[in-house]
Structure 1
């Protein structure tokens, strides 16, 4: 990446923060009200620790929001000619989602992968990867591997009734793709093969895990695909340009490949008429009106933004899209930073059913070998948190992986949740302060990360891999230390006048 392009990206990011911080308190508050539940997020004394993954109780249907958004822009649509991927993981407001590194591993011929309900044969090698994992689940909401394969998932609602037999959870299928795919296409083949053999979607279980059908974007530096599923059936569409997906079926007739029984199964259930061509996967299997609802609106918004910016999409634009609060009634309007309570960046309402953006990712891949890929990660609400760079050629701080069912002070995820709740007590002023602090840090990270990515790639190519690994590891540790120190400073500042503290 040239210095000019680096500078342009940083300038756009700085401008985005300038717009956010210029909002009046009234405009910033929008329809978002302070939470009366802040007291329950005061730092408790809890026993840390991670639960066992096998048969671990999950989240019931009534507690899981039906929202997530994933986007990708291929090289022709971006300013620097490289693929950009983005994902907001929206989950129950208090469902911890740590960021975990798993090393490349070799496996015995008789080894098996133990998912929550399904055991399947292991492969010879599973690739080094990082995943954003709900604390109770073996699988991930999104993640990336050592081969620059990046995947994000969406919940979908098909016409199938809940099955009696156990199946794979959608997030487990995502992890299988990262562990076993050296390219996006290889990951797609792995994932669709698992869907065909083991199934996914709604199924009855005693662990209280809410299950659903799934959609995915699977990308690498050269190409990207959308997978949409219904039970054992699936459709794969190759991405052209840039696209966003959400909690709504979108693969209609332009699929590149289709499960062998997708059409016949739909005909058998009376969801499609024999001889009607072309077969429309989305129309056949979607249980909902695909023009209505939050998922349809959010997808309309992401596609409109990506379409309008084709050729000019950069990292800062993807971050702004994940922070967007537009209700999509005007899909092509400028980015909304006022706290509307709607949009691609979601915030929980009152009561136990509320959902919140739990974690976010912007992956800036690289196809030409000029630099290392950079994975920008964020915890909890991205409009009130920084994106920090992760390099898989180094070792991310182990602390990022800390977090379980209950709040602990050593978990970055839980500390960002605590900060978000304190912000609600005086939203207009505290959110402005939070954004101002993160703007300075994120700008520094943007300025430092890209030159480092170029220099580190040059050093690796020259054979100095060990020193480069140490340098990248130290860089990530320093950034996370700065981020968490700022988080604790803000928590202390707001706690001193906290309503919950009395």
Structure 2
């Protein structure tokens, strides 16, 4: 996922198709995403950057950090938006279908969603499916049904992925017409609460893939980070897009706003590898998640009480600081507007840094009192020992 200075935002998901992987030249989904953000000034341009790359090089690549899980290969689904329009692009090898979202809401997950209602497609999309015997004719062609490989070796359970996609789409429909950045943050934290697949014992111990994804002994996949892209067509470039970002699983983490056009991200946000380091915000957030896992029902509410207050503070201040910046821009003082937003970003990050450090200190102390209550403790011990994460596991 990512955003560029023109207000183009892209998210992508792994999907699994019947088309072969191209090991020699195939591009990783995140490679195509980065290149699209580098070269595309609109959602449509960015989409066609991906399509051109796809048709020229094919796709392959692993979605794992080197040496983590082996060859976890996949093809890609993208959701691409700018302040004026949005597209969904779903791919299978060098074949693709694209749908323009003209009304309502849409979501993607690790499963194909486009069936027979696309706006653009590979010129031989249907012909190839007929040649391969995946359908009999143009009339019974269905992109998701024909090209998807729902029991591929590397793929998750397709039922999980369908449930996860349905959950995000249903929540978007529920709030359609009144969706704000705060609404999107709430949806990103969903664990199917109040539904027939609500976690039996708690979010980290769910048996189903949730929007806010937690890992378990069978699947090491979890939400690595979250982005809420706030895109506004009626604003000057400095205020056209806001990148609300959260590390790790958002249910026990905090979103913070960033801007473009000269407003900088703190330097320490670039720190972070696959091994724990105490000076990395990425690892501060992930350690908070791991600590909360040890007794989620007790520790997650404590963590949320801290971060809920911070997000409320940020959202109110965002309105104030953006209004100040807008007035400065209208007065021809854009450099001063950048300084105002930089002050806002810096103050947010400083507050959040203090909160991460506080939680990383008090949660281990609380565990001594409330005790560990986690179903997958052996899995967690193994994972943290490999990563060097200090946790009170005894």
Q: TM-score per shorter chain, which class?
A: 0.7 to 0.9
Q: 2:10, 2:79 within 8 Å by CA — same for their partners in 1? A: yes
- Does 2:204 correspond to 1:324? no
What's the counterpart of residue 248 of structure 2?
Answer: 380
- Does 2:348 correspond to 1:479? yes
Match of 2:332, SS state, is: coil
Q: Which range is displaced more, 235-244 or 309-318?
A: 309-318
Q: 1:348, 1:356 within 8 Å by CA — same for their partners in 2? A: yes
What's the counterpart of residue 223 of structure 2?
Answer: 357
Distance in 1 separating the partners of 2:121 and 2:296: 48
- Does 2:212 correspond to 1:345? yes
Match of 1:244, SS state, is: coil
Gaps of 5+ in 2: 369-390
Tell me by how many angstroms 1:426 deviates: 2.7
Q: 1:169, 1:211 within 8 Å by CA — same for their partners in 2? A: no
Among 78, 90, 108, the residue aligned to 1:216: 78
Q: 1:363, 1:376 within 8 Å by CA — same for their partners in 2? A: yes
Distance in 1 separating the partners of 2:178 and 2:157: 28
Match of 1:242, SS state, is: coil
Distance in 2 separating the partners of 1:145 and 1:490: 32
Greater RCO structure (CA 8 Å; 6+ sep):
1
What's the counterpart of residue 422 of structure 1?
Answer: 291
Gaps of 5+ in 1: 1-141
Equivalent runs, 1:451-470 vs 2, <5 Å? 451-470=320-339
Pick closer, same or farther for the CA change 1:363–1:263 going to 2, 3 Å. same
What is the TM-score of this pair, normalised by structure 2?
0.83
Q: Which range is displaced more, 312-321 or 430-439?
A: 312-321
Q: 2:322, 2:341 within 8 Å by CA — same for their partners in 1? A: no
What's the counterpart of residue 374 of structure 2?
Answer: none
Distance in 2 separating the partners of 1:212 and 1:421: 28
Match of 1:345, SS state, is: coil
Q: 2:226, 2:247 within 8 Å by CA — same for their partners in 1? A: yes
Q: Deviations over 1:178-206 (max 9, x none)?
A: 11111101111111111111111469xx9
What's the counterpart of residue 251 of structure 1?
Answer: 114
Among 287, 291, 308, the residue aligned to 2:174: 308
What is the TM-score of this pair, normalised by structure 1?
0.66
Distance in 2 separating the partners of 1:291 and 1:495: 35
Distance in 2 separating the partners of 1:496 and 1:212: 42
Tell me by how many angstroms 1:305 deviates: 1.6
What's the counterpart of residue 296 of structure 1?
Answer: 162
Tell me by how many angstroms 1:272 deviates: 2.6
Among 285, 291, 294, the residue aligned to 2:147: 285
- Does 2:262 correspond to 1:390? no
Distance in 2 separating the partners of 1:270 and 1:279: 11
Equivalent runs, 1:56-455 vs 2, <5 Å? 142-201=1-60, 209-239=71-101, 240-273=103-136, 275-277=137-139, 279-288=141-150, 292-326=158-192, 339=203, 341=206, 342=208, 343-350=210-217, 353-369=219-235, 371-393=239-261, 394-455=263-324
Q: 1:412, 1:484 within 8 Å by CA — same for their partners in 2? A: yes
What's the counterpart of residue 127 of structure 1?
Answer: none
Tell me by how many angstroms 1:454 deviates: 2.8
Tell me by how many angstroms 1:471 deviates: 2.4
Pick closer, same or farther for the CA change 1:164–1:409 going to 2, 3 Å. closer
Pick closer, same or farther for the CA change 1:291–1:350 going to 2, 3 Å. closer
Aligned length: 355
Pick closer, same or farther for the CA change 1:227–1:481 going to 2, 3 Å. same
Distance in 1 separating the partners of 2:295 and 2:200: 20
What's the counterpart of residue 380 of structure 2?
Answer: none
Q: 1:397, 1:473 within 8 Å by CA — same for their partners in 2? A: no
Pick closer, same or farther for the CA change 1:410–1:364 going to 2, 3 Å. same
Tell me by how many angstroms 1:376 deviates: 1.0
Higher helix share: 2
Distance in 2 separating the partners of 1:175 and 1:485: 32
Output the aligned Cα RMSD. Answer: 2.7
Higher strand share: 1
Tell me by how many angstroms 1:480 deviates: 0.8
Tell me by how many angstroms 1:493 deviates: 1.1
Q: Which range is displaced more, 415-424 or 227-236?
A: 415-424
